[in-house]
Structure 1
């Protein structure tokens, strides 16, 4: 796939590592890798005047590719199954595109020609995006976490993207992003805010400037694809809140924002290291290019990306071909797309919007179905009371399905037990709905007030025999520590939506662990029990020290802790 995309700009990857891009026959520009048997990419030499039986077979094939791509499929027209670029005449290409459009209409999908190219033999090939909203949801949803140093322009950029109006150079666009008075006064984000940007079937952005007095509900209803931005704090004082957003909300992608005036400084290094540790695909946006040329910042980015030890290759986005290339390889390659934009002049914003439009969902249909079959587990990140409405909780449903009226239990409390509750109503993206599925974030209204409710609790099925735990064991790898970690070491542990100080009670098989070493570690939560399960990812950080791991054993509470 990447080789096909490079054909539209043969020099686009001249500075990139051949290890990331090379295939045996790329230089002759005559062929692609053979058609993949799985995934959402399909090669078709031509589909002209198929019989009724053949047409039904093609529709079934398209349906399968859409399922593989979670509602999105890419068709390469004029390409044989072996990958040879044969090309089509103009008449055959037109007829093939019409047949593909009829196939899509049969499934209620839409087609968009991403680009076409004429080969040396005069024949043409085309790349077509087919998009269908899955039957069980209103639109295709992608979560993007926004990272970067303080004053990099994160909230301003989001304000321009979601509100549709350029900034005045003094921060007007960011005012709608802030949630607290002190954020408006200081100009710095301290909490996690959620903003939405929609795209219709033609790829046009749908934001609050799409029509007069448009609401969030209308944006959701009019969009076939919805990008949810998580605006995270950039100041080092709020690093724990930022890690909680990355760990708890499980974003599909991360957008690292770097100011052209300041360069790669401050928390940008820390945020990128955390995103890579959590295995979150990321891309970079350089802002404020109306004030300073981005040349020096782009030069420093290459060494910056290599410092993390990820062997990433920067790809500066200059045209639409680069956008399609970057979007197709975002989940599979080591390429890091870099956009240069200005929130004041609007330069570069169109290419960024096109990239967000083709950005792939981060979970396959097979994995999504598997998660939905499991018992529901809702991770609570926010809780509040709204007048007479009652107790409201917000967070992410990591697995299962929750519907209105469902009997559930919430906890753990200080003694490790759970309370029975009933779901009164559900809201997603500020719109009421009747159901939330695995991988979706939502706000739930409960039927009763919950004493001692806190962020980090979970909502589980009423029939499950759930218990909190204070002690757990994990296989841990230390990314950095100035000396070594010994028994008695205290650190802030992030496990999904959980954030709490934990004490190291034991290290096996040795008595300490150094940088780049792995060991089995026994932890104890210092304040109150939490609900954790075997297999969950773990991230701990204390000062400059940080490490990652996976929970291997849990010791449920069978007594009331003192």
Structure 2
């Protein structure tokens, strides 16, 4: 039956009955005919020294850590990261799975191209910074790169800290399903591990200004299958203890990632692909020597083919200018098409790199896009750690998808906003206009401290002004 459908079958669980017969649970995967593989992006969160980069390194390179962080060296991009052992920038690594559910990584493949060619599913790990100092980078990664899931790493010896709570809150604010990895279980006693589990369970069950979750502990393959099956739809948080040094439960983690269903069903993705193109630019590649400008980003809706023409902007004056897609790449592999929900690099014609920046969009001309300086949002101060209220005139850094800019509150429906309260406020960007859509989620912060979150409920075009200003 699977062969007739063009699908593959992998045995994930087998149990022998008393009568000698077997019960086998299988994972059936069918890659859509117009896709090369199923693609899921996982944002990796957690406080500094929780072993995020080491865990990714073990999964993607197939070699255990030495207890001193050797597995993470393949992920670091800067000398100071190697020297300090701390991630300060956003890095990406991929882990593939073939028809048989076997891992395709840099242990059995030489290049990312080979991993993609040999895989029917690709997991893209987005390694985000854990130090408070780099919180703006972490917020940008969560909001702009549109991960499908969040993997929260908890250091077993240290337990739950403020950054753990903040990262969990950010992921929930952006609507991401979260699963937790209790890392470094080889570095502490069973008593310490149990204490960490109890603190984590309390945090998930009772919340900390966010929605409550039911902890779901994965102890065997049966638990793993059930967790993956109900993870996205039910309000649960799978929890798995691992060790990058001994390798305990690393195979269970890989199997969980393999059978984890896509965030969007094929029908949902098809609906998004039929909408007008909205491609959010989160990176400009400046080292390109040709006449083309290369940008990186995520396609939120629509479908992009080589040779398609679009509008890109907004420019400093609010205009959107025409451009053309010359080539497309995904994971450094040339492609002819990119679909909604996928990240890709595009080379653009008829535009100078000096005119482009992070936060811009590539859209279909039929959308008739308009830039805005002002927008109305419903906000709450779930992470406001001081007694100082927010009021009219308050300046904050706002993150809306790939947009990051200082904005001022120019109007409020109440005089002052305190912790755990909600308000309707009007923001005005200080520096330049942006492309903002209604119903977009936002996060705002002051310095390295996240203040709160909200949702855009009204947008004023550049030619409009809120009557209260």
TM (norm. structure 2) is 0.92
Matched, 1:413 2:279: no
1:289 corresponds to which residue? 185
What per-residue deviation string (whole Å, max 9, x for no partner) do you get for residues 278-319 of structure 1? 121111111222221323322221122234243322232221
Matched, 1:468 2:371: yes
C-alpha contact 2:443 2:450 (8 A) present in aligned 1: no
Instruction: Provide closer, same or farther for how the CA distance between residues 296 and 355 of structure 1 changes in structure 2, counting only shifts above 3 A.
Output: same
What per-residue deviation string (whole Å, max 9, x for no partner) do you get for residues 472-531 of structure 1? 1122233243343211111111111111111111112x3333333333211101111110
- Distance, in Å, in 1 between the alignment partners of 2:398 and 2:18 is 58
- Distance, in Å, in 1 between the alignment partners of 2:61 and 2:348 is 32
**Aligned mate of 2:108, from 196, 199, 210:** 210
- Distance, in Å, in 1 between the alignment partners of 2:203 and 2:438 is 35
Pairs aligned (count)? 455
What SS does structure 2 have at the residue aligned with 1:218? Answer: helix
Of the structure 1 ranges 365-374 and 498-507, higher mean CA displacement relative to structure 2 is found in 365-374
Matched, 1:526 2:430: yes
Q: In the TM superposition, what are the counterparts of 1:434-473 in structure 2 within 5 Å?
A: 434-447=336-349, 448-473=351-376
Instruction: Provide closer, same or farther for how the CA distance between residues 250 and 231 of structure 1 changes in structure 2, counting only shifts above 3 A.
Output: same
Matched, 1:242 2:99: no
**Aligned mate of 2:124, from 212, 228, 234:** 228
C-alpha contact 2:280 2:362 (8 A) present in aligned 1: yes
- Distance, in Å, in 1 between the alignment partners of 2:17 and 2:245 is 40
C-alpha contact 1:412 1:458 (8 A) present in aligned 2: yes
- Distance, in Å, in 1 between the alignment partners of 2:17 and 2:74 is 49
Of the structure 1 ranges 545-554 and 425-434, higher mean CA displacement relative to structure 2 is found in 545-554
C-alpha contact 1:479 1:545 (8 A) present in aligned 2: no
Of the structure 1 ranges 232-241 and 255-264, higher mean CA displacement relative to structure 2 is found in 255-264
**Aligned mate of 2:201, from 287, 293, 302:** 302
Q: CA RMSD in A?
A: 2.1
- Distance, in Å, in 2 between the alignment partners of 1:313 and 1:556 is 42
2:456 corresponds to which residue? 551
For structure 2, the residue ranges without an aligned partner over 5 or more in a row are: 465-469
2:467 corresponds to which residue? none
What per-residue deviation string (whole Å, max 9, x for no partner) do you get for residues 131-189 of structure 1? 10111111111110000001111111111110111122222211111122222222211
- Distance, in Å, in 2 between the alignment partners of 1:138 and 1:368 is 15
- Distance, in Å, in 2 between the alignment partners of 1:516 and 1:135 is 48
- Distance, in Å, in 2 between the alignment partners of 1:323 and 1:187 is 31
Q: In the TM superposition, what are the counterparts of 1:480-491 in structure 2 within 5 Å?
A: 480-481=383-384, 482-491=387-396
- Distance, in Å, in 2 between the alignment partners of 1:404 and 1:188 is 39
Question: How far 1:547 sits from its partner (Å)?
Answer: 2.6
TM (norm. structure 1) is 0.77
1:375 corresponds to which residue? 276
Instruction: Provide closer, same or farther for how the CA distance between residues 410 and 263 of structure 1 changes in structure 2, counting only shifts above 3 A.
Output: same
- Distance, in Å, in 2 between the alignment partners of 1:382 and 1:117 is 49
2:35 corresponds to which residue? 137
Instruction: Provide closer, same or farther for how the CA distance between residues 191 and 362 of structure 1 changes in structure 2, counting only shifts above 3 A.
Output: same
C-alpha contact 1:145 1:251 (8 A) present in aligned 2: yes
Structure showing greater relative contact order (alpha-carbon pairs closer than 8 Å, 6 or more residues apart): 2
What SS does structure 2 have at the residue aligned with 1:296? Answer: helix
Question: How far 1:239 sits from its partner (Å)?
Answer: 0.7
What SS does structure 1 have at the residue aligned with 2:318? Answer: coil
- Distance, in Å, in 2 between the alignment partners of 1:364 and 1:500 is 33
C-alpha contact 1:258 1:285 (8 A) present in aligned 2: yes
Larger Rg: 1
Matched, 1:396 2:298: yes
Matched, 1:352 2:273: no
For structure 1, the residue ranges without an aligned partner over 5 or more in a row are: 1-102
Q: In the TM superposition, what are the counterparts of 1:89-238 in structure 2 within 5 Å?
A: 103-116=1-14, 126-211=24-109, 214-238=110-134
